[in-house]
A and B are shown apart, each in its own frame.
Chain A
Amino acid sequence: MTTELHPQGSFDVADFAVPTGKEEVWRFTPLDRLGEFFNAPADSGSLTLTTDAHLEVLGVGEAVRGTVLVPPELPSALAAGVAEADYLVLDSVADQPVRITMTGDSHHLSHQHLVIDAKPYSQTTVLLTYQGLAHHNATTEILVGEGAHLSVVSLHDWDPGTLHLGHTQARVGKDATYRHIVVSLGGDLVRANSFVSYEAPGGRAELLGVYFADAAQHLEHRLFVDHNQPKTTSHVDYRGALNGTGATSIWVGDVLIRSHGEGINTYETNKILLLSEGCRAEAVPNLEIETGEILGAGHSASTGRFDPEQLFYLRSRGISESEARRMVVRGFFASILSAINIDDVEESLLRRIDEELGFDKEK
């Protein structure tokens, strides 16, 4: 079944026209900065991948590659078509996160396809950190086996000058739990898709995100939850702060409840905190329901500024204005950041957010 916003995908690059900006899925994206992402041939690029984990390689068409992620857009078709895909197999109950770091050092366009295969009943957290300077086009294909618990953190901590298109597609197995946390801080332009569907009933998906856009930064997050199986749940919670002229954030949350999808429970929300004038935040929640047999479905989106009453309350206890702002922003992001559940990452992100807020510069 194809919906208006989600046309049938393809592995064949020739099936996609170069976007013009009139397409629904591209209408918010500054395409003039992305030309090379639509024309370049797929190659493995110049990004350096470092990890302590053991990665295997999957060639084109080699199982399990291509069983979950069918590219919905031209860039994802290019990335998913690279000759060699990195393949991470998770088959244990791990108490330490698997860390994979992608570091760029040039404007040379790089493509990457990563396959994460969480075997049944495994329990792992995977931290994908993107850093340095890059023009990076990435696809991440995720299998969550029966009863598995998989948490994937995609941390976009790019340097200025970076352009990044990402497409993550997960399929959640029977009674499995999948959590994807997207953190977008750096880079000039980041457009990150996080899509999820279900293999069998009983799957749970949590799509969480925090982002902080500052001057002239474009951060775009597109979510799609396809409730193609009964008795599945999804919870989407993205929170963003914008600070500085031209800071732009786009959030599109699509949830589709199929006609045979009884017993579905879904809720999605996007909250935005505007910290200065001259910012642009778009929030587009779409809920398509093909069945009435649902447990619950809802969405909300809100955009606000610092609440002067909150600041007054904190300051009336002796807390300085800048410290009060810092507390409110940290509090705004707190529940998402604590879900990352990797202490050093949570701490460093709080520090990064402090930097983004520039508290040291402000009175």
Chain B
Amino acid sequence: MNCLEIKNLHVSVYTDEGDKEILKGVDLVINPGEVHAIMGPNGSGKSTLAYALAGHPKYAITGGSVSLDGTDLVGLSVDERAKAGLFLAMQYPVEIPGVSVANFLRTAKTAIDGEAPPVRTWVKKVNESLATMQLDQGFSARSVNEGFSGGEKKRNEIVQLDLLNPKYAILDETDSGLDIDALKIVSEGVNRYVGQGDRGVLLITHYTRILNYIKPTFVHVFVDGRIVEQGDSSLADSLEKTGYAAWVGEDNA
């Protein structure tokens, strides 16, 4: 069955004081063509969900299952999950000094596809993708994320989303730190990806602002490591008015 299916997912983080459980049973099914927004207060475990799905070594999946179009992801390494069709646009993309954007994109595309992209059309494709994100051609000669502005980092993530074109994409607070112009550019990139019709998106956000530009199929409220409420896009509107107070204790409201 083609979907990204998360069943009763439990995840712990390794800390100096021992393992701490962050995700306490997450259930979610993302079908191709759907955009699922996950919203929740800080510290609710939204980013943990993103990193655990991608296979970050800091997090351990202690229970439950994740499958992508029928493939069990939990037993796969980080790069194997990417090759299976999963993509994570990171909240804080990492600097890789001395590795050019062009080299990085080509190497990633080669790894995902299992063969090198054709040289001539690839360079053209990269430049077109950069152009849609309003990044000039010189951008591809720069070291990955080194000296990039916050907006450039996020736009570079969407360039990768566009070129690698995974089956399922997790966008971890891709809207954070963006001014309104950059938010529009990034949202248009995501909408082009969604517009293919058969791709699934997990959109993690703290604010409803980005949902003015990317229309979610479903909205989930995430509190204390689990989904506590779900609905259609109108749920985002009510969250805008009431916040998360209804789901978090008095202390955290």
A interface with B by C-beta (< 8 Å): 307-310, 312-321, 323-324, 327-328, 330-335
Contacts and interface: CB of A to CB of B under 8 A. Distances in A.
A58 to B, nearest CB: 41
Nearest to B93: A313
B164 A314 contact: no
A50 B109 CA distance: 44
Contacts of A321: 77, 79
Given A308-B57, A323-B111, A331-B143, A315 B77 contact: yes
27 contacts: A310-B94, A312-B56, A312-B57, A313-B93, A315-B77, A315-B79, A316-B78, A316-B81, A316-B87, A316-B90, A317-B82, A317-B108, A317-B160, A318-B82, A318-B164, A319-B79, A319-B107, A320-B79, A323-B107, A323-B111, A324-B79, A327-B96, A327-B104, A327-B107, A331-B96, A332-B97, A334-B98
Contacts of B81: 316
Nearest to B95: A310
Contacts of A331: 96-99, 143
Interface size classification for chain B: 20 to 34
A323 B77 CA distance: 14
Interface of B: 54-57, 77-79, 81-83, 87-88, 90, 93-99, 103-104, 107-108, 111-112, 143, 160, 164
Nearest to A319: B111
A288 B164 CA distance: 52
A320 B55 CA distance: 13
Nearest to A337: B98
A309 B88 CA distance: 13
Nearest to B81: A316
B148 to A, nearest CB: 13
B174 to A, nearest CB: 14
Contacts, number: 81
A359 to B, nearest CB: 14
Given A315-B55, A315-B82, A323-B107, 5 more contacts: A315-B79, A316-B78, A317-B82, A317-B108, A331-B143
Among the interface residues A315, A317, A324, which one has the most CB atoms of the partner chain B within 10 A?
A317
Given A317-B111, A318-B108, A323-B107, A335 B98 contact: yes
B96 A313 contact: yes
B96 A318 contact: no
A330 B117 CA distance: 22
Contacts of B104: 314, 317, 327
A318 B98 contact: no
A314 B96 CA distance: 9
Contact of A318 (B83, B93, B99): B83
Among the interface residues B54, B94, B104, which one has the most CB atoms of the partner chain A within 10 A?
B94
Contacts of A327: 96, 99, 103-104, 107
A335 B104 CA distance: 16
Given A308-B57, A331-B143, A317 B98 contact: no
Nearest to A363: B77
Contacts of A309: 94
B63 to A, nearest CB: 23
Nearest to B97: A331
Nearest to A317: B108
B77 A318 contact: no
A28 B95 CA distance: 34
B111 A316 contact: no
Given A307-B94, A312-B78, A331-B97, A318 B111 contact: yes
Contacts of B54: 312, 316
List the 8 shortest-distance A-B pairs measured between CB atoms, nearest first: A331-B98, A334-B98, A317-B108, A318-B111, A318-B82, A315-B78, A331-B99, A318-B112
Nearest to B98: A331
A331 B143 CA distance: 9
B164 to A, nearest CB: 7
A310 B57 CA distance: 12
A315 B90 CA distance: 13
Contacts of A335: 98
Contacts of B143: 331
